[in-house]
A and B are shown apart, each in its own frame.
Chain A
Amino acid sequence: MGTQLDSAKSVFRLGLFRDFPTLMHYRDFGGYQALAKALAGSPEAVIGDIGAAGLRGRGGAAFPTAAKLQMVRDNPPGERYVICNADEGEPGTFKDRFIMTHIPFQLLEGMTIAAYAVGAAQGFIYIRHEYPEAQETMRRAIAAARAAGLLGGDILGSGFSFDIEIFSGAGSYLCGEETALLSSIEGKKGRPRLKPPYPTQSGLWGRPTLINNVETLANIPPIVDRGPDWYRALGTADSHGTKLISLSGDVVRRGLYEVPFGTTFREIIDNCGGGVRQGRLKAVNIGGASGVVVPPWELDCPLEYSACGQHGITIGSGAVFVMDDSRSILENVRNRVDFFLHESCGKCTPCREGLRQAGRIIHRLLAGNAVLADIDNLERYTRTMQNAAFCGLGQAAGNSLISSLKYFRGEYEAMCRDRGEAAPKEATA
């Protein structure tokens, strides 16, 4: 691994826990101090700390975590649930798996604190079945935490009870969408539900439910333990804390990196990844399959919600896939359209039929059978998906298409039979 964040400035201390996912080891380095602290105070104080820290959801939507906790807490008394979304279906993303296999107790501690904050007694971790080692590690961690009185009845003698079950998903990408995930746990088809009502009001089995990504929940113990001021100091004025980056593609050192918000994408590629392996940097896919494709000149944009928003960059899950100039943009886009076409649930027309038509056009382009008018249609279908698809995944399925058309339209046009006089345009700044 390349640069490793100093423990004092790290939420995850990835180096420390690389090979010892044991409870003893976790506690040796201060694990479960946060839970003790949280249980000694009020649930409101926990939500207050998380709000003051400015934690936002790390699954992709970046929703303020404290607001979500508060919404679940504000429901009338009664059963409610905490669900950890560990479906991690976004291609090129492996941060949640790393947390589960290396620092499982930090996730359990975070979930337990969240459950205390919202008043839940039962939690679920929804892990895709393609992660058997993560499921195994989490199961063992749950058993160890129970044995140590850190899960189950009367945790740490506080009177607060909470337990966690592992739910093995069948591997559908769409089940990472929170309402599809709920349906999946309920034994129904993994299709998204109408919102509102939001899961915070009517979630699992119609009960109020907190659903957060693995990384989000694992952020909670350090915030509670070291305090919101420490956490806020890690990032920028706009985006606080750190972000796990799954770096892959044509870089020297692929891997998982924790970087403070404010780091530029170029720094991530050069400092963490050691730069492009060979050839010239051509494009970077940020945010996974549902993210955007950007050219090198956009890489000085800092990893920060507002700046990325202005640049049209989706941070998403924090996947960064680097492409050198041996790669074809069109082939890359084809892979992603094929992926989404395979994973679409088929519920709504724009996603189901839009992806089918988009796929046909991309395949025609690559076969040299497309015409320029196809590109306009492709753009129109993509706009329709973004504008009108039922769920966030359908809306995001077109991100790579739209961004690649914006920056690399020349590559599309060059593949058209009727490109005529128009010389292919090189992507330039």
Chain B
Amino acid sequence: MTETITFSLNGQQVAVPAGLSILDAAALHGVRIPSLCHHPDQRVKANCRVCVVEVEGQKNLAASCATPVTAGMKVRTNSPRIRETVQTILELIFANHPQECLTCIRNGNCELRRLAADYGIREVKGEMATDALPLDTSTPSLVRDPNKCIKCGRCAEVCHHVQETGILYSHYRSVDVQVAPEYGKSLSDVACVLCGQCAAVCPVGAIHEKDDTALVWEALDDPAKHVVVQVAPAVRVSIAEEFGQAPGTIATGRLVSALRKLGFDRVFDTDFTADLTIMEEGHELLHRLQSGGALPLITSCSPGWVKYIEHSYPELLPHVSTCKSPQQMFGALAKTYYAGKAGIDPADIFVVSIMPCTAKKFESQRPEMNASGHQDVDAVLTTRELGRILKQAGVDFAALDDSVFDDPLGISTGAAAIFGVTGGVMEAALRTVYEVVTGQELESVEFTAVRGLQGIKEATVDLAGTPVKVAVAHGLGNARRIMDLVRAGLADYTFIEIMACPGGCIGGGGQPYGTTDTVRRQRIEATYRVDAGLALRKSHQNPAVAKLYAEFLRQPLSEISHHLLHTKYRNRSLYKLKG
């Protein structure tokens, strides 16, 4: 039981659990204190100072995000002094912020702009003092506009203390402060994995996804192109948020209708190749177990994770599954198997992915991702970009009827649906591997030990008398802890699932703004509802996958599978050590 304490909030006695900040305690009683640098999932930074309040007995105002409530404390959140201070701080930020709101990618969902509206800022009384620093457009995934940065530090916090990649730092001092990679380098020159968690937490437009909507419009508008689209599992439980609906709203059917309205020739599902991934990766695991290959086997679906291990643990690359991610398997099949069946020249096929992820843009442009003889995936849109492109097309998302994915690359099972959450790939793999190894039907398909937001999860599964130990990590900080164990020879796992983003793909860097652990749980819960609602919940039961093997691939790990569905990695270590 948490202790309850009483304090005075704007003259009223209120009770709250002990240990809260003034900001959180006030929120429990309907008082919303403005904030910019504060983020519920992050440590306190107290940089922006717009959350200041009066605490009786203190000479200066207190940052409510950083000040714990104590019993008997007397707090005011609204007074002439506070209003003047908050308005002045906002004005000071605006004086250093380009007045480009109409053309900014955050127009409509900018946290700074919302505060400007709430506080009725009508003029900037100070002198405009904006910077003219170059934009970083060096990567296929992210664009960094340092001129719009308000130095709140959220991106650096997530980069250092969640992902522990340490790419974005606060450099220089005073008005020269910049949050940027080391020594003025661009993102492509450092070990950035392009996970986009920085973009997901930025309150303004200082770092954001590279917008590829124009590329997609161009393809859709070209009558010579046969444009097919695939949708990642995590997008169906988040896209509705782009249209004002609650996190955790399942919108699979409406999403398919919306994509048809946009003019895609075929609306397919990445879930199909997620099932295929399980077939290939499951057999890869069995093969390694039987033939003494590198174990533990580590998943390869998350492109941020793959880039991370290439940069940071290249010596462990033999452990990574050679399976391409579902996105890339899809692209390779769309321009071979599907092209053949549909009788279309693969040169005329344009493959678009809708992904919760910014790193997927990078993955699609890896030079080796051309097994079909063409670039397998032509354009990747994040969930946020999809929201924008649908709005441009005038699609009234809420009013759409449901429809279903096209055949054959649109058929999937519940095992594929849960690819979007941490633990999902592991659970899907176990459902199939168990039945393949034991030859018995798995009665309880839900492996709850690998579900949830705990950073590192472990489970032991009995495979026909052999206990198999598995681990699941999400967020690169957790991945790093597991990799350190593997490198030191201290990990007795057989199979490890890693997803770069906290919560898995549902918490991806390309998802709708406002992702917090609360939102992650809602999207996760929705994902498991999608799975539970499907008749088929094991990848090897997918009839379209079975047909694909019968007609085209022959069997898992076949020569053609290796050619189309598997890949190689490279050592991207920037700081090579001797020995």
Contact = CB atoms under 8 A, between A and B. Distances in A.
Interface of A: 172, 174, 189, 191, 194, 341-350, 352-357, 360, 373, 377, 380-381, 383-384, 386-390, 395
Contacts of A352: 151, 174-175, 177
A384 B85 contact: yes
Residue among B60, B173, B175 having the largest count of chain A Cβ atoms under 10 Å: B173
B186 interface: no
B486 interface: no
Interface of B: 44, 46-50, 52, 60-61, 63, 66, 81, 84-85, 88-89, 92-93, 95-96, 125-127, 129, 150-151, 170, 172-177
A383 B151 contact: no
A386 B174 contact: no
Contacts of A341: 174-175
A395 B92 contact: no
Contact of A347 (B47, B95, B125, B129): B47
A342 B174 contact: yes
Given A377-B126, A384-B89, A344 B174 contact: yes
Contact of A349 (B48, B60, B174): B48
17 contacts: A346-B151, A348-B47, A348-B48, A349-B47, A349-B92, A349-B151, A352-B174, A353-B93, A355-B174, A357-B95, A357-B126, A373-B125, A383-B84, A387-B61, A389-B49, A390-B46, A390-B63
Nearest to B177: A346
Given A349-B47, A380-B84, A356 B173 contact: no
B47 A356 contact: no
Given A346-B151, A348-B47, A349-B49, A356 B175 contact: yes
Contacts of A383: 84-85, 88
A346 B175 contact: yes
Contacts of B126: 353, 357, 360, 377, 381
Contacts of B60: 386-388, 395
A356 B61 contact: no
B412 to A, nearest CB: 48
Contact of B88 (A174, A189, A348, A381): A381
Contacts of A395: 60
Contacts of A387: 52, 60-61, 81, 85
A388 to B, nearest CB: 4
A344 to B, nearest CB: 4
Given A345-B174, A352-B174, A360-B129, 16 more contacts: A345-B173, A345-B177, A346-B173, A347-B47, A349-B150, A350-B49, A350-B92, A352-B151, A354-B88, A356-B175, A357-B92, A381-B88, A384-B92, A387-B85, A388-B52, A388-B60
Contacts of A380: 84, 88
Contact of B89 (A343, A355, A388): A388
A177 to B, nearest CB: 13
A386 B49 CA distance: 12
A382 B23 CA distance: 25
A330 to B, nearest CB: 18
Contacts of B92: 349-350, 353-354, 357, 381, 384
A378 B63 CA distance: 22
Residue among B50, B96, B175 having the largest count of chain A Cβ atoms under 10 Å: B175
A132 B309 CA distance: 46
A357 B174 contact: no
Given A194-B46, A346-B172, A356 B177 contact: no
Contact of B127 (A343, A345, A355, A360): A360
B149 to A, nearest CB: 11
Given A384-B88, A388-B60, A343 B52 contact: no
B118 to A, nearest CB: 17
Residue among B44, B47, B66 having the largest count of chain A Cβ atoms under 10 Å: B47
Contacts of B44: 194
Residue among B85, B95, B129, B176 having the largest count of chain A Cβ atoms under 10 Å: B85
A348 B175 contact: no
A348 B49 contact: yes
Given A350-B89, A387-B60, A356 B129 contact: yes
A99 to B, nearest CB: 29
A16 B57 CA distance: 45
A344 B44 CA distance: 20
Contacts of A342: 174
Contacts of A389: 49
A33 B88 CA distance: 56
Contacts of A357: 92, 95, 126-127, 129
B51 to A, nearest CB: 10
A117 B128 CA distance: 53
A346 B174 contact: yes
A352 B172 CA distance: 12
Nearest to B153: A347
A344 B89 contact: no
A386 B59 CA distance: 10
A179 B459 CA distance: 43
Contacts of A174: 173
A377 B49 contact: no
Nearest to A386: B60
Contact of B93 (A194, A349, A360): A349
A344 B84 CA distance: 23
Contacts of B93: 349, 353
A388 B66 CA distance: 12
A65 B52 CA distance: 30
Nearest to A341: B174
Nearest to A395: B60
Nearest to B94: A353
Residue among A348, A354, A384, A395 having the largest count of chain B Cβ atoms under 10 Å: A384
Contacts of B127: 357, 360
B96 A353 contact: yes
Nearest to B49: A388
A207 B571 CA distance: 40
A356 B151 CA distance: 15
Contacts of B175: 341, 344, 346, 352-353, 355-356
Nearest to B150: A349
Q: Which 10 A-B pairs have the closest CB atoms?
A: A346-B177, A353-B92, A357-B126, A344-B174, A384-B88, A388-B49, A387-B61, A346-B174, A346-B173, A360-B127
A357 B127 CA distance: 7
Nearest to A189: B170
A347 B85 CA distance: 17
A213 to B, nearest CB: 21
B214 to A, nearest CB: 35
A348 B174 contact: no
B88 to A, nearest CB: 4
B283 to A, nearest CB: 49
B176 A349 contact: no
A345 B85 CA distance: 20
A362 to B, nearest CB: 12
Contacts of B84: 380, 383-384
Contacts of B174: 341-346, 352, 355
A67 to B, nearest CB: 18
Residue among A194, A357, A373, A387 having the largest count of chain B Cβ atoms under 10 Å: A387
Contacts of B173: 172, 174, 343-346
A85 B52 CA distance: 30
Contacts of B48: 348-349
A353 B177 CA distance: 11
A356 B94 CA distance: 13
B70 to A, nearest CB: 11
A208 B63 CA distance: 25
Contact of B96 (A189, A344, A356): A356
A262 B271 CA distance: 81
Nearest to A193: B46
A354 B170 CA distance: 19
A405 to B, nearest CB: 16
A255 B62 CA distance: 39
A140 B67 CA distance: 44
Contacts of B88: 350, 354, 380-381, 383-384
